[in-house]
Amino acid sequence: MKLKRAKAYRKLMHQYEVTFGFRSPYQVLVDHEILEDCWRGKIQLLERLQGCLQGPIKPMVTQCCMRALYNAKPKNDALIKWAQDNLERRRCNHHELEEPLSALQCLSAVIDPKDSKINKHRYVVASQDRKVRAHLRTIPGVPLIYLERAVMIMEPMNTASEELREREEKNKFRLGLKGQRNPDQPPKRKRDDEENGAEEQTTEEPRPQKKKKPRGPKEPNPLSMKKTKSKSTGPKPPRPAAAVAVADSTDAPAADGEDAGPRKRKRKHKPKGDGDAAANVDAEAAAV
């Protein structure tokens, strides 16, 4: 049962995050009544809240609720000391009054001061007062938590929140995921640079469109083709003077009286028929 409830609370908080922009750590406003009930039942309030919301929390208490703890009879000094050490004080600007306001008036002024039905600061409210929870159900995007027989329970999304969520989903489908979320809100003005760039584009002449090449047989890959040798048709460049002098010295004949060096002899091969006749003549001469 605990796993099913935790899964349902995780899904519910995900809907609050997507629709109303809740982010952890969640700001939780607690009243004096739930503090007294948790102290009386020896319930770990912070651990239960963190397990219920499935994420880190930032517990807060208003000045009027703290004054209610001071004015309680009998006065619980241990509870007051614990609240001072573990809860952040949320200023409600009602400390100048002689008597503190009720939890309903104080929490309503903190959550929705202008009565615009908007939870601007994204508060989560943990209260045992039924009147407080009934009033906050009329404001979209206010998660409500209370204790029921030592079990921390988070109420499902109220009717106002469901209607706003469905309206947001319809706007997403109508305007697109990248479009404007709120149709009543006017479109945002562009920057001056973008406006100037748009004006320059309108003043410029339209560029001619490129003609599309007709489809046909693909040409071979130029990297796989053999490169053609370039044929030089112009006159050859003149040879250097040193190269010309060396060539002339090698080609000129030797002067008279100078030794041109030994000439190479070429070996002359005699035909086979002449060699046999000469051998027979030599053999006859030896016999005589």
Alpha helices in the chain (DSSP H): 2-20, 32-41, 45-53, 63-71, 77-86, 103-111, 130-136, 159-175, 192-203, 241-251, 272-287
Find the helix packing angle between 63-71 and 103-111, rounded to 10°: 170
What pLDDT, on the 0 to 100 scale, is given for residue 192?
52
Banded model confidence at residue 144, pLDDT cuts 50, 70, 90? very high
- For 228, which DSSP code? P
pLDDT tens-digit profile of 25-71? Answer: 999 999 999 999 999 999 999 999 999 998 999 999 999 999 999 98
Tell me the whole-structure pTM to 2 decimals.
0.58
Residue pair 75/31 in contact (Cβ under 8 Å)? The answer is: no
- For 141, which DSSP code? T
Helix and strand numbers, DSSP H then E, in the chain = 11, 6
Banded model confidence at residue 257, pLDDT cuts 50, 70, 90? very low
pLDDT tens-digit profile of 189-205? Answer: 555 555 555 555 555 55
Residue 230, pLDDT > 80, answer no
Backbone CA torsion sign across 3, 157, 165, 139: negative
What pLDDT, on the 0 to 100 scale, is given for residue 94?
83
Indicate the helix (H) or strand (E) that contains 27: strand 26-30
pLDDT tens-digit profile of 86-140? Answer: 999 988 888 778 888 888 999 999 998 888 888 989 999 999 999 999 999 999 9
The better pLDDT of the pair 144, 228 is held by 144
Assigned token pair, 216: 């046909």
| CA–CA gap between residue 272 and residue 235 (Å, rounded) | 54
Q: What is the mean pLDDT of the chain?
A: 78
Assigned token pair, 45: 């309030």
